[in-house]
Structure 1
């Protein structure tokens, strides 16, 4: 994993791309959509958090992913170590720019 794949940012970052509640929930570790489920779980464990803010290639917030969701995907019968956060359809929030 590259060191530049995880960033901490203030709650006000990218506020125009989601609701205030979305932005407040997005505080904490920020990861990119191309990160694998396994790496995301590792980042989450290292940060001692239950969720990660997911961003697109432009750094714009696209949604949250929880430890429970990642664990469910990893434990599912169709799991592969190639599954990325963007492959999990419900990562992208319904009120956001996409």
Structure 2
């Protein structure tokens, strides 16, 4: 697995890769949804947007979680599931994210250590700016 590179860039030296930041390598944040959205609606949004994750925000528009298609499918297939389950009810509370100034090397290390397929990039005000993803 290596970090996705979203824009073509000239070949760089290893020193450049160490100093590249999350802001340099991130994808656009993609769909951002409210935490009161139901699991079914979130799955529909994912399907329409052709994405495997959604950035979840609270009522103030601040980043709270990143949910994946796999997580939503597991919740939906669980015995306690009802069509009233909201994203805020299933948030893992992990709270993992990277600052735009985090180096790509640091972000990749954190993602591998925590076994994350994607890591939101969040500014100092709590706004989701983008997402870093590991490619397979």
1:85 aligns with: 87
Q: Which residue of 2 aligns with 1:15?
A: none
RMSD: 2.2
Higher radius of gyration, 1 or 2: 2
What's the counterpart of residue 27 of structure 1?
29
**Which whole-Å CA distance do the structure 1 matches of 2:28 and 2:55 have between them?**
5
Q: Map 1:22-61 onto structure 2 (within 5 A).
A: 24=26, 27-61=29-63
Aligned 8 A contact 1:26 1:53 in 2: no
Normalised TM-score (structure 1): 0.68
Q: Does structure 1 retain, via aligned residues, the 8 Å contact 2:33–2:56?
A: yes
CA distance in 2, matches of 1:92, 1:81: 24
2:74 alignment partner in structure 1: 72
Indicate conservation of the 8 Å contact 1:65/1:91, yes or no. Answer: no
- Quickly say closer, same or farther: Cα 1:91–1:51, change in 2 above 3 A: farther
Deviation digits for residues 3-22 of structure 1, max 9, x if unmatched? xxxxxxxxxxxxxxxxx58x
4+ residue stretches of structure 1 with deviation over 3 A? 94-97
Superposition deviation, residue 90 in structure 1: 0.5
Structure 1 gap ranges (5+): 1-19
Aligned residue pairs, count? 76
State the match for 1:62 in structure 2.
64
Q: Distance in 2 between matches of 1:92 and 1:39?
A: 22
